[in-house]
């Protein structure tokens, strides 16, 4: 391949710089506003600021003082960790089963998985299923209905099928069972796809609020995403035991502080998975 011309390299650098600024500037404005004092907010006309002249941690002290937001963060962390681990276990097990030639009922199950990609269950049937299993107002209603994502199963199955067949043949000759093969051979070689799928599940669990809105009635069980929606979108605070709310005056730094707290955990997780993520996103892109 020929070396790109200088003009092409400059154009790429400019385009990349603009893209980075479009991402960084809004995020920086959110952080700056969360740290701004009331005088800075008043001087800006009550809107977002780019550089706080007076730094104040009052908003973070308010939301992290052991109240609603702190409890919601702990709930979201628990749901995300437990849900991601269970989803990875279920997805890996199902994908491994579907990837093995001659597995019992693998083809009918694969057709069901493909059907789940094309057709999603309706809102009312999903609610009735959750109700029949007595999961309403339970944190398990945020995990079990979305435990397995069909698209993730297909991606992981494709990765398992690309592993060298000689590994499985050697394991079969040595008399190794399917479970041992999965845990001792397949999963150690699948760190890339596990990191990618795990990140997908973690982001989905952390950001999900609609299921909580449907299934959770008690406000003390609300996850962070639903609390964020209540504070930022509705500009209300949570009170009472059944999700009752009372009006708040606009408090922009408080809202931005909650937004930062909701975003930062995922941003902190990504650097640890970046090495595997860069490899995992190419799964299935190149054959041979």
Residue-level pLDDT at 249: 39
Q: State the CATH class of domain 60-280.
A: mainly alpha
Distance CA 20, CA 35 (A): 22
Phi, psi of 226 (to 5 degrees): -75, -35
64-84 b/e (C-beta count within 10 Å ≥ 16 → b): eeeebbebbbebbeebbeebb
Distance CA 22, CA 24 (A): 6
**Where in the chain do CATH 1.10.3720.10 domains reside?**
60-280
Residue-level pLDDT at 225: 86
Residue 257 CB contacts under 8 Å (≥ 6 apart), including other chains = 34, 59, 60, 62, 63
| 74 within 8 A of 222, measured Cβ to Cβ | no
Residue-level pLDDT at 288: 46
Q: Among 202, 79, 78, 226, which residue's Cα sits nearest to residue 143? A: 79
Residue-level pLDDT at 236: 57
Distance CA 236, CA 221 (A): 17
155-172 b/e (C-beta count within 10 Å ≥ 16 → b): bbbebbeeeeeeebeebe
| 220 within 8 A of 241, measured Cβ to Cβ | yes
Distance CA 97, CA 102 (A): 10
CA angle, 17 then 261 then 32, to 5°:
50
As averages over each run of 10 residues, the pLDDT of the chain (288 residues) reads 78 92 89 82 75 79 76 91 95 91 85 86 88 92 92 90 85 83 87 88 90 89 85 58 42 81 81 64 49
Residue-level pLDDT at 272: 72
Residue 119 in 3-state DSSP?
coil
Residue-level pLDDT at 234: 62
């Amino acid at each position: 391949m020929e070396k790109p011309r200088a003009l092409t390299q400059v154009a790429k650098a400019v385009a990349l710089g603009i893209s980075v600024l479009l991402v960084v500037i809004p995020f920086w404005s959110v952080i700056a506003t969360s740290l701004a004092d009331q005088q800075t907010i008043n001087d800006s006309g009550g809107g977002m600021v780019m550089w706080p002249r007076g730094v104040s941690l009052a908003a973070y002290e308010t939301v992290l003082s052991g109240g609603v937001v702190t409890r919601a963060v702990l709930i979201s962390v628990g749901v995300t960790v437990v849900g991601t681990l269970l989803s990875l276990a279920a997805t890996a097990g199902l994908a491994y089963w579907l990837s093995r030639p001659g597995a019992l009922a693998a083809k009918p199950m694969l057709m069901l998985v493909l059907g789940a990609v094309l057709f999603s269950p309706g809102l009312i049937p999903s609610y009735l299923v959750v109700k029949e299993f007595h999961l309403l107002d339970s944190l398990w209603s945020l995990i079990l209905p979305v435990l397995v994502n069909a698209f993730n199963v297909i991606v992981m199955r494709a990765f398992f099928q690309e592993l060298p067949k000689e590994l499985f043949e050697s394991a079969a000759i040595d008399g190794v069972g399917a479970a041992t093969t999965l845990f001792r051979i397949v999963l150690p070689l699948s760190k890339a796809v596990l990191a990618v799928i795990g990140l997908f599940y973690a982001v989905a669990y952390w950001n999900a609020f609609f299921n909580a809105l449907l299934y959770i009635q008690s406000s003390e069980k609300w996850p962070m995403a639903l609390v964020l929606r209540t504070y930022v979108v509705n500009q209300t605070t949570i009170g009472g035991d059944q999700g009752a709310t009372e009006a708040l005056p606009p408090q922009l730094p408080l809202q931005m502080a909650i937004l930062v707290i909701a975003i930062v955990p995922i941003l902190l997780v990504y650097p640890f998975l970046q090495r595997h993520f860069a490899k995992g996103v190419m799964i299935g892109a190149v054959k041979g």
